[in-house]
A = this chain, B = another copy of it.
């Protein structure tokens, strides 16, 4: 890279209105090395700026078991005690994150693996104890992310790869839901980029009939969403996911796509991919 490029790439305003993908993958991709390989190759192939956010996968549970740490549940909710936090710091922040980075580098993508503590990128507040003490779980809000801080990294030529860890700014790492991190990143970075948030999961997208993968709904805008809810086509499990997606859209995210990680390559080829959620035109 010559000097002129460096200077122009690092000027804040020039990047405005460029597109940025924030893509979240979960355990279903991470746990299967073939799926992960294909996904990362497709991810690398996507044009433009991008951020990857990954969840945990089964390996965290396996390692915790091997270390004799029992999963603690209260009212069906997982508790992150100090021992569990150590495990997720090792597995999310170390094992999974750094192996993803090494793979992306193999494919020529200049990835950097991060927690929210790195670069002070995502600051969270330890969840207050009301009826349940969730332990070292961090909640994030609209002030948690400084978009220009992350943008400096992106503009320096790096692809951020975030795991599901944040920090409180006082030296404490915290466990934070990866879906929530992806959404917060997309909303925050909408002030600098045209952001598209992509959730990869095990289905092809939002299905008209949950048992028929061919009944994929390609596009849902805010009006159609209200119709689908009224017709009870959006079923209960999908409701919070889609509500969160439309909240992100109302906060500046250009579109949210829900699709299958195996199909990400279609996006690169400008073919339809998953279900695209957006504001009504």
- Report the nearest B residue to A100, measured CB to CB: B117
Q: Are A13 and B3 in contact (CB under 8 A)?
A: yes
Bound together, the chains give a CA A10 to CA B106 distance in angstroms of 27
What is the size category of the interface that chain A forms with chain B? 35 or more
List which A87-108 residues lie within 8 A (CB) of chain B: 89-95, 97-99, 101-103, 105-106
Bound together, the chains give a CA A99 to CA B115 distance in angstroms of 10
Residue A148 at the chain B interface, CB threshold 8 Å? yes
Min Cβ gap A107→B in Å is 8
Residues of B within 8 Å of A99, CB to CB, are: 89, 173
Q: Are B102 and A173 in contact (CB under 8 A)?
A: yes
List which A1-43 residues lie within 8 A (CB) of chain B: 1, 3, 6-7, 9-13
Residue A110 at the chain B interface, CB threshold 8 Å? yes
Q: A153-161, A207-215, A254-262: which lies at the B interface?
A: A153-161
A interface residues with partner B (beta carbon < 8 Å) = 1, 3, 6-7, 9-13, 63, 66-68, 86, 89-95, 97-99, 101-103, 105-106, 110-115, 117-120, 148, 152-153, 155-158, 165, 167, 169-173
Bound together, the chains give a CA A238 to CA B66 distance in angstroms of 40
Q: Are A6 and B11 in contact (CB under 8 A)?
A: yes
Residues of B within 8 Å of A3, CB to CB, are: 11-13
Residues of B within 8 Å of A169, CB to CB, are: 105-106
Min Cβ gap A36→B in Å is 11
- The 4 A-B residue pairs with the shortest CB-CB distance, nearest first, are A94-B94, A90-B90, A10-B10, A106-B171
- Report the nearest B residue to A92, measured CB to CB: B94
Contact pick for A110, options B93, B113, B120, B148, CB 8 Å: B120
Residues of B within 8 Å of A93, CB to CB, are: 93-95, 97-98, 113
Q: Are A102 and B171 in contact (CB under 8 A)?
A: yes
Q: Are B101 and A94 in contact (CB under 8 A)?
A: no
Q: Decide yes or no: A101 and B115 within 8 Å by CB, A11-B6, A66-B67, A66-B68 being known contacts.
A: yes
- Report the nearest B residue to A2, measured CB to CB: B12
- Report the nearest B residue to A167, measured CB to CB: B102
Task: Give the interface centre of A11, A98, A99 by most chain B CB atoms within 10 Å.
Answer: A98
